[in-house]
A and B are shown apart, each in its own frame.
Chain A
Amino acid sequence: EDQVTQSPEALRLQEGESSSLNCSYTVSGLRGLFWYRQDPGKGPEFLFTLYSAGEEKEKERLKATLTKKESFLHITAPKPEDSATYLCAVQVGAGGTSYGKLTFGQGTILTVHP
Protein backbone atom coordinates (compact mmCIF):
# COMPACT_ATOMS: atom_id res chain seq x y z
CA GLU A 1 0.00 0.00 0.00
CA ASP A 2 1.23 3.48 -0.88
CA GLN A 3 2.37 5.45 2.13
CA VAL A 4 3.27 9.10 2.56
CA THR A 5 4.70 10.39 5.83
CA GLN A 6 5.33 14.03 6.58
CA SER A 7 7.47 15.46 9.34
CA PRO A 8 7.40 17.34 11.53
CA GLU A 9 3.68 17.44 12.30
CA ALA A 10 4.04 21.07 13.35
CA LEU A 11 6.80 23.64 12.97
CA ARG A 12 7.08 27.06 14.56
CA LEU A 13 9.56 29.51 13.07
CA GLN A 14 10.53 33.09 13.64
CA GLU A 15 10.24 35.36 10.63
CA GLY A 16 13.42 34.98 8.58
CA GLU A 17 14.35 31.62 10.13
CA SER A 18 14.82 29.16 7.24
CA SER A 19 13.90 25.49 7.60
CA SER A 20 12.78 22.38 5.72
CA LEU A 21 9.75 20.12 5.72
CA ASN A 22 10.12 16.45 4.92
CA CYS A 23 7.93 14.06 2.95
CA SER A 24 8.98 10.42 2.77
CA TYR A 25 7.12 7.97 0.58
CA THR A 26 6.84 4.27 -0.08
CA VAL A 27 5.09 3.60 -3.38
CA SER A 28 5.29 1.37 -6.41
CA GLY A 29 5.86 3.29 -9.59
CA LEU A 30 5.93 6.96 -8.62
CA ARG A 31 4.58 9.12 -11.43
CA GLY A 32 4.67 12.43 -9.59
CA LEU A 33 5.09 14.01 -6.18
CA PHE A 34 2.98 17.06 -5.39
CA TRP A 35 3.19 19.81 -2.81
CA TYR A 36 0.10 21.76 -1.81
CA ARG A 37 -0.53 24.58 0.63
CA GLN A 38 -3.77 24.65 2.61
CA ASP A 39 -5.06 27.62 4.60
CA PRO A 40 -7.66 27.04 7.34
CA GLY A 41 -11.14 26.44 5.93
CA LYS A 42 -9.93 26.45 2.33
CA GLY A 43 -9.06 23.89 -0.30
CA PRO A 44 -5.47 22.86 -0.98
CA GLU A 45 -3.60 25.15 -3.37
CA PHE A 46 -1.18 23.56 -5.82
CA LEU A 47 2.49 24.52 -5.42
CA PHE A 48 4.76 22.05 -7.27
CA THR A 49 4.97 18.74 -9.08
CA LEU A 50 8.25 16.79 -9.11
CA TYR A 51 8.67 13.85 -11.45
CA SER A 52 12.14 12.37 -11.00
CA ALA A 53 14.93 12.13 -8.45
CA GLY A 54 17.23 15.14 -8.54
CA GLU A 55 14.54 17.51 -9.76
CA GLU A 56 14.13 20.88 -8.04
CA LYS A 57 11.48 23.58 -8.38
CA GLU A 58 11.27 27.04 -6.85
CA LYS A 59 8.55 29.56 -6.21
CA GLU A 60 9.28 32.72 -4.24
CA ARG A 61 10.60 31.57 -0.83
CA LEU A 62 9.82 27.89 -1.46
CA LYS A 63 12.04 25.28 -3.04
CA ALA A 64 11.05 21.63 -3.48
CA THR A 65 13.50 18.80 -4.08
CA LEU A 66 13.03 15.09 -4.75
CA THR A 67 15.10 11.97 -4.07
CA LYS A 68 14.13 8.33 -4.61
CA LYS A 69 12.66 8.08 -1.13
CA GLU A 70 11.72 11.56 -0.01
CA SER A 71 11.04 15.15 -0.89
CA PHE A 72 11.93 18.32 0.95
CA LEU A 73 10.20 21.66 0.93
CA HIS A 74 12.74 24.30 1.87
CA ILE A 75 11.44 27.62 3.13
CA THR A 76 13.93 30.47 2.95
CA ALA A 77 13.47 33.55 5.16
CA PRO A 78 9.78 32.80 5.81
CA LYS A 79 7.20 35.50 6.49
CA PRO A 80 4.04 35.27 8.63
CA GLU A 81 1.96 34.92 5.45
CA ASP A 82 3.71 31.60 4.78
CA SER A 83 1.86 30.15 7.78
CA ALA A 84 -0.32 27.29 6.52
CA THR A 85 -0.52 23.51 6.38
CA TYR A 86 1.77 22.07 3.72
CA LEU A 87 0.62 18.81 2.18
CA CYS A 88 2.63 16.31 0.19
CA ALA A 89 0.95 13.83 -2.15
CA VAL A 90 2.03 11.09 -4.55
CA GLN A 91 0.55 9.82 -7.77
CA VAL A 92 1.44 6.30 -8.81
CA GLY A 93 1.22 4.51 -12.15
CA ALA A 94 -1.90 5.44 -14.06
CA GLY A 95 -4.37 2.94 -15.37
CA GLY A 96 -6.66 0.44 -13.78
CA THR A 97 -8.21 1.88 -10.68
CA SER A 98 -5.42 4.40 -9.99
CA TYR A 99 -5.68 7.05 -12.69
CA GLY A 100 -5.58 10.51 -11.17
CA LYS A 101 -5.74 9.48 -7.52
CA LEU A 102 -3.43 11.35 -5.16
CA THR A 103 -2.38 9.83 -1.85
CA PHE A 104 -1.77 12.60 0.69
CA GLY A 105 0.37 12.79 3.78
CA GLN A 106 -1.04 14.17 7.02
CA GLY A 107 0.59 17.54 6.47
CA THR A 108 2.93 19.86 8.37
CA ILE A 109 1.38 22.84 10.13
CA LEU A 110 3.77 25.76 9.72
CA THR A 111 3.49 28.83 11.92
CA VAL A 112 5.75 31.79 11.28
CA HIS A 113 5.90 34.37 14.06
CA PRO A 114 6.74 38.03 13.29
Chain B
Amino acid sequence: DSGVTQTPKHLITATGQRVTLRCSPRSGDLSVYWYQQSLDQGLQFLIQYYNGEERAKGNILERFSAQQFPDLHSELNLSSLELGDSALYFCASGKGTVSFYGYTFGSGTRLTVV
Protein backbone atom coordinates (compact mmCIF):
# COMPACT_ATOMS: atom_id res chain seq x y z
CA ASP B 1 0.00 0.00 0.00
CA SER B 2 1.55 3.30 -1.17
CA GLY B 3 -0.55 5.44 1.14
CA VAL B 4 -2.28 7.18 -1.78
CA THR B 5 -5.90 6.01 -2.02
CA GLN B 6 -7.87 6.16 -5.23
CA THR B 7 -11.53 5.28 -5.64
CA PRO B 8 -13.16 3.64 -7.43
CA LYS B 9 -10.70 1.07 -8.77
CA HIS B 10 -12.81 0.35 -11.82
CA LEU B 11 -15.48 2.38 -13.56
CA ILE B 12 -17.55 1.49 -16.60
CA THR B 13 -19.77 4.17 -18.07
CA ALA B 14 -21.41 5.20 -21.30
CA THR B 15 -20.38 7.89 -23.75
CA GLY B 16 -21.70 11.33 -22.87
CA GLN B 17 -21.76 10.63 -19.15
CA ARG B 18 -19.88 12.35 -16.31
CA VAL B 19 -17.77 10.64 -13.65
CA THR B 20 -15.78 11.71 -10.61
CA LEU B 21 -12.54 10.09 -9.55
CA ARG B 22 -11.34 10.56 -6.00
CA CYS B 23 -7.87 10.66 -4.50
CA SER B 24 -6.67 10.86 -0.90
CA PRO B 25 -2.98 11.76 -0.64
CA ARG B 26 -0.44 10.29 1.76
CA SER B 27 -0.55 11.78 5.22
CA GLY B 28 1.48 14.98 5.28
CA ASP B 29 1.58 15.45 1.50
CA LEU B 30 0.23 18.75 0.25
CA SER B 31 0.58 18.24 -3.51
CA VAL B 32 -1.70 16.10 -5.63
CA TYR B 33 -0.98 15.26 -9.25
CA TRP B 34 -3.28 13.62 -11.80
CA TYR B 35 -1.97 11.54 -14.71
CA GLN B 36 -3.67 9.66 -17.53
CA GLN B 37 -2.14 6.46 -18.86
CA SER B 38 -3.24 4.98 -22.15
CA LEU B 39 -1.57 2.39 -24.37
CA ASP B 40 -0.74 4.82 -27.16
CA GLN B 41 0.08 7.95 -25.13
CA GLY B 42 1.82 6.55 -22.08
CA LEU B 43 1.68 8.51 -18.83
CA GLN B 44 0.48 12.06 -19.46
CA PHE B 45 0.41 14.80 -16.86
CA LEU B 46 -2.99 16.41 -16.40
CA ILE B 47 -2.90 18.80 -13.46
CA GLN B 48 -1.26 19.56 -10.10
CA TYR B 49 -2.71 21.06 -6.94
CA TYR B 50 -0.78 22.25 -3.92
CA ASN B 51 -2.62 22.92 -0.68
CA GLY B 52 -5.86 23.63 -2.49
CA GLU B 53 -4.46 25.76 -5.30
CA GLU B 54 -3.83 24.80 -8.91
CA ARG B 55 -0.06 24.92 -9.58
CA ALA B 56 0.54 23.32 -12.96
CA LYS B 57 -1.54 22.26 -15.89
CA GLY B 58 -0.77 19.81 -18.67
CA ASN B 59 -2.76 18.92 -21.75
CA ILE B 60 -5.97 18.54 -19.79
CA LEU B 61 -9.11 18.66 -21.89
CA GLU B 62 -11.70 21.35 -21.22
CA ARG B 63 -14.18 18.55 -20.47
CA PHE B 64 -11.99 17.59 -17.51
CA SER B 65 -11.69 19.54 -14.29
CA ALA B 66 -10.21 18.96 -10.87
CA GLN B 67 -10.09 20.45 -7.42
CA GLN B 68 -8.39 19.90 -4.10
CA PHE B 69 -10.43 20.29 -0.96
CA PRO B 70 -9.44 21.70 2.48
CA ASP B 71 -8.84 18.18 3.79
CA LEU B 72 -6.40 17.80 0.83
CA HIS B 73 -8.29 15.08 -0.98
CA SER B 74 -8.74 15.73 -4.68
CA GLU B 75 -11.37 14.93 -7.27
CA LEU B 76 -11.01 14.68 -11.03
CA ASN B 77 -14.23 15.28 -12.92
CA LEU B 78 -14.58 13.95 -16.45
CA SER B 79 -17.63 14.98 -18.44
CA SER B 80 -19.11 14.35 -21.89
CA LEU B 81 -17.10 11.17 -21.95
CA GLU B 82 -15.83 9.76 -25.22
CA LEU B 83 -14.52 6.31 -26.08
CA GLY B 84 -11.01 7.76 -26.25
CA ASP B 85 -11.17 8.75 -22.59
CA SER B 86 -10.88 5.11 -21.61
CA ALA B 87 -7.61 4.85 -19.70
CA LEU B 88 -5.98 4.39 -16.34
CA TYR B 89 -6.10 7.55 -14.24
CA PHE B 90 -3.46 7.88 -11.58
CA CYS B 91 -3.21 10.23 -8.69
CA ALA B 92 0.14 10.91 -7.01
CA SER B 93 1.05 12.93 -3.96
CA GLY B 94 4.16 14.73 -2.74
CA LYS B 95 5.21 16.98 0.10
CA GLY B 96 6.16 20.18 -1.71
CA THR B 97 5.32 22.01 -4.88
CA VAL B 98 8.26 20.38 -6.64
CA SER B 99 9.00 16.83 -5.57
CA PHE B 100 12.63 16.12 -6.37
CA TYR B 101 12.43 13.01 -4.26
CA GLY B 102 9.84 11.42 -6.49
CA TYR B 103 6.20 11.46 -5.63
CA THR B 104 4.05 8.49 -4.68
CA PHE B 105 1.43 7.08 -7.01
CA GLY B 106 -1.84 5.44 -6.11
CA SER B 107 -3.01 2.22 -7.73
CA GLY B 108 -5.20 4.05 -10.23
CA THR B 109 -8.78 4.07 -11.48
CA ARG B 110 -9.44 2.12 -14.66
CA LEU B 111 -12.08 3.96 -16.66
CA THR B 112 -13.85 2.19 -19.48
CA VAL B 113 -16.22 4.21 -21.67
CA VAL B 114 -18.60 2.11 -23.75
> Could you say which of A36, A46, A106 has the most chain B C-beta atoms within 10 Å of its C-beta?
A46
Interface residues on chain A, size class: 20 to 34
Q: How many residues of B contact A (CB 8 A)?
A: 30
Q: Which stretch of B14-22, B63-71, B76-84, B104-112 is in the interface?
A: B104-112
B2 vs chain A, min Cβ distance (A): 7
Instruction: Indicate if the CB atoms of B42 and A107 lie closer than 8 Å.
Output: yes
Instruction: Indicate if the CB atoms of B102 and A100 lie closer than 8 Å.
Output: no
Instruction: Indicate if the CB atoms of B102 and A34 lie closer than 8 Å.
Output: yes
**C-alpha gap A40/B9 in the complex (Å):** 14
- A to B contact number (C-beta, < 8 Å): 74
**C-alpha gap A89/B31 in the complex (Å):** 18
Q: A101-B45, A103-B45 are contacts. A43–B105 as well, Cβ < 8 Å?
A: yes
Instruction: Indicate if the CB atoms of B105 and A100 lie closer than 8 Å.
Output: no
Instruction: Indicate if the CB atoms of B98 and A94 lie closer than 8 Å.
Output: yes
Binding site for B on A (CB under 8 A): 31-32, 34, 36, 41-49, 51, 87, 89, 91, 94, 97-107
Binding site for A on B (CB under 8 A): 2, 4, 31, 33, 42-45, 48, 50, 55-58, 90, 92, 94, 96-108
Starting from the known contacts A100-B96, A101-B56, A102-B33, 10 additional A-B residue pairs (CB-CB under 8 Å) come to: A31-B100, A36-B105, A44-B43, A47-B102, A98-B56, A99-B48, A100-B55, A100-B98, A104-B42, A105-B42
